Chain A
Amino acid sequence: MFVRAIAICALAAAMGFTHARLKPLTISFGSAAEPGGGLPQSGPASGPAAQKKPLRDGYIDIETARGMLDLPDVVFVDARIPDEYKVSRLARAQHLPPDVFWTGEMPEFCSNMPREWRYVIYCKSDQCDAAELVAVRLKEYGYANLLIMQGGFEAWTKAGFPLEGRK
């Protein structure tokens, strides 16, 4: 029985390896860290505020995101689970959790939201990968101006920035 079990494992490994070679996946958004996260710095040129840990390309910190909140061509995208979104969210944030893409059909979001706008995606915290997954998925649907908010909802709330719904 154990020899056959090992044979099943070996066959599955071979099939998985072959499939991975035939259909590679990109499971990260953005590239290695560069100073300023690739965006123009609006803060001080020196001092503690400028001594931040460099962000990966495509990532912005919460202060930069706060500055973008009221821009007309910027949409915040909430990638958290529905229960969390219903309770509280960033002002005017659109809800787009990863499981919306599981049906295989184009989500309503992609039918309604213009490709040329900028989208700032966040999830619960840095421990959650939902924002990255949503960003990768949106890229597949032709969205190029995507940013992920480092620190997520928790960091935003901790900083006392504006929210909708009860806290």
Chain B
Amino acid sequence: MSAAAPQTIDVRDGRPRATVIDMILRFALGALFIVSATAKLRMSLDFAFAIKAFHLGIPENAIVFLAYAIPWFEALIGAGLILRIWVRPAALLSGLLMLGFIAGIVSLILRGKDVTCPCFGSLKLICTGPMGLCHIVRNLIITLVSFRIVQAYRPRASA
């Protein structure tokens, strides 16, 4: 009886393990990020003020940089998810971004600050008013979906 050959991943033949539900989640998450990026880029000033309200102690030109860089980051993630380009890195970054936002919101709550974010523009996605528990729960769900996509789209190992 011969020893079992070690499993190798042939990237050319690698097929993701994603189900139809994973595909739907991927599209939905991608669309969400595109909408979010568009809203933030339309309202750069308001988003810059939302970042400023965190009182991170960074200079104003750094705040302006973040006010543009974060939406472009979201746009690239959204495009990657929808077009199935670098899906796993995009989903990973999506999850990490959400965790970063959650940390920021927790910081706001602990410091007693009221910050309203134009995260989705005039489309108030479930949570309204200043950032709080609702936003944390919402972002947590997005984080879980993101990491599900990272897991679902790993290449299938070929024997």
A residues within 8 Å of B by Cβ?
A: 1-2, 4-5, 7-9, 11-13, 15-17, 19-20, 23-25, 27-28, 81, 83, 97-99, 101-104, 124, 127-130, 132-133, 136-137
**Which of A12, A13, A17, A98 is in CB contact (< 8 Å) with B116?**
A98
Digit string of B42-73 for contact with A (CB within 8 Å is 1, else 0)? 11111011001100000011011111111111
B residues within 8 Å of A by Cβ?
A: 42-46, 48-49, 52-53, 60-61, 63-73, 76-77, 80, 86, 88-90, 92-93, 111-116, 118, 121-122, 129-130
A132 touches B49 (CB 8 A): yes
**What A residues does B121 contact at CB under 8 A?**
102
Interchain nearest-CB distance for B127 vs A (Å): 13
- Given the known A-B contacts A4-B86, A27-B60, are A81 and B116 also in contact in the complex, defined by CB atoms under 8 Å? yes
A136 touches B45 (CB 8 A): yes
**What A residues does B116 contact at CB under 8 A?**
81, 97-99, 130
B60 touches A15 (CB 8 A): no
**What A residues does B67 contact at CB under 8 A?**
20, 25
B53 touches A128 (CB 8 A): yes
A99 touches B118 (CB 8 A): yes
- Given the known A-B contacts A1-B92, A8-B76, are A15 and B114 also in contact in the complex, defined by CB atoms under 8 Å? no
Instruction: Identify 19 residue pairs between A and B in the complex whose beta-carbon atoms are under 8 Å apart, listed by A's number.
Output: A4-B88, A12-B76, A16-B66, A17-B68, A19-B68, A20-B68, A24-B64, A25-B45, A25-B48, A27-B48, A27-B52, A27-B60, A81-B130, A83-B129, A98-B116, A101-B46, A104-B42, A127-B111, A129-B115
CB-nearest residue of chain B to A133:
B49
A127 to B90, CA, bound (A): 35
A128 touches B114 (CB 8 A): yes
A9 to B72, CA, bound (A): 9
B69 touches A13 (CB 8 A): yes
**What B residues does A19 contact at CB under 8 A?**
68, 72
A81 touches B129 (CB 8 A): yes
CB-nearest residue of chain A to B117:
A99
B45 touches A81 (CB 8 A): no
CB-nearest residue of chain A to B71:
A16
B72 touches A16 (CB 8 A): yes
B86 touches A8 (CB 8 A): yes
**What B residues does A136 contact at CB under 8 A?**
45, 49
**What A residues does B70 contact at CB under 8 A?**
12, 16
